[in-house]
Amino acid sequence: MPDTPESNSFFTVPAPIKHLFDKFPLTVYPANEIPQRCRHDNVNQLFVFTDALGARQGRPSFNPQCLKWQAYLKFVGIDFEITSSNNHASPTGALPFLIPSLPTDALSPIPSHKLQKWAIEQVHCEEEQQLNLRFEVYASLIDHRIRNAWLYMLYLDSENFDAVARRLYVNPATSNLLVRAALGHQLQQAARDELLKTSRYIDAADLEGDASGAFEALSTLLGEDEHFFGRPNPGLFDASVFAYTHLILDKNLGWKRNRLGQLLKGHPNLVQHRDRLLKFF
């Protein structure tokens, strides 16, 4: 699931605004096909959340789910170009997805949950889950504790939402102020709904405490190694951690309140891990 909280509900309009729209003859169009200009011979195309400059320069995506796979493909040595996209434009309804280079028999998009299998087939790298039985246990710390704290910090902290989320996800989608308001409301409500799946109420202190414990566990797991699980080269787990640690520490995003950054800086080995992997970009 991409870390716009609910990809399928991103463009759902809240009821009061929907009543206004119902007075006009609106047409809902299906998701766009991949533009022909994006089909480059002999170049893998990874479609992610980014801006035009970030796409041209190959910068890290500002979306954790997209950045995870962008980083992983770099780590295993697969060449690709990134293309700015959004969930609505994705044939699968979610980002990221990849269009493999030509020649191929068919230009079928590869969704994120099949990217590791595809990458292994391309470069014959090791399947990380088979290297260590603790992989799934520690991965759950990222997918739940850290992700939940991220959702709160990005979408439900009002100052961060206006400074970061609205600028990255809402404003590029449309210039219509009414639709922007609807999209912003929907993103925040989707984040609330996601967090309430595992708790009866949302407590920022509890979320930060869970994230702090997750950072401590990851720091202990990494120890003095350069990569997780003692790997000689970074793998999928490294990419999963980097997808959050980089964005949490990225001053260019314009965080107004960054409690997760303060907690993360208490673990220098995780900060150094992020800095090493950032050099890939």
AA identity, residue 169: Y
> What's the average model confidence in pLDDT over 167-174?
94
Q: Is the per-residue pLDDT at 242 higher than 50?
A: yes
Q: Is 227 helix (H, G, I), strand (E, B) or coil?
A: coil
**165: region left, alpha or beta (phi > 0 left; psi from -120 to 50 alpha):** alpha
What are the residue boundaries of the structural domains of the chain, listed by start?
Answer: 26-125, 135-278
* pLDDT tens profile 92-144: 788 999 999 865 555 688 999 999 999 999 988 877 666 667 888 899 999 99
How much is the mean pLDDT over the chain? 86
Quick one: pLDDT at residue 42? 80
More confident residue, 248 or 22: 248
State the pLDDT confidence band at 28, using cuts at 50, 70 and 90: very low
CATH architecture, domain defined by 26-125:
3-Layer(aba) Sandwich (3.40)
Q: Is 223 helix (H, G, I), strand (E, B) or coil?
A: coil
Q: Is the per-residue pLDDT at 41 higher than 70?
A: no
CB 127 within 8 A of CB 116: yes
More confident residue, 102 or 223: 223
> What's the average model confidence in pLDDT over 236-258?
97
Quick one: pLDDT at residue 26? 45
d(CA 130, CA 151): 30
Quick one: pLDDT at residue 243? 98
Q: Is the per-residue pLDDT at 166 higher than 90?
A: yes
CB 71 within 8 A of CB 60: yes
Quick one: pLDDT at residue 108? 82
> What's the average model confidence in pLDDT over 204-216?
97
State the pLDDT confidence band at 14, using cuts at 50, 70 and 90: low
* pLDDT tens profile 61-103: 999 999 999 999 999 999 999 999 988 777 778 899 999 986 5
Q: Is 186 helix (H, G, I), strand (E, B) or coil?
A: helix
Quick one: pLDDT at residue 149? 98
* Residue 7 burial class via C-beta count within 10 angstroms: exposed 0-12, middle 13-18, buried 19 and up: buried
Quick one: pLDDT at residue 126? 73
Percent of the chain residues past pLDDT 90, beyond the cut: 70
* Residue 245 burial class via C-beta count within 10 angstroms: exposed 0-12, middle 13-18, buried 19 and up: buried
Quick one: pLDDT at residue 37? 45
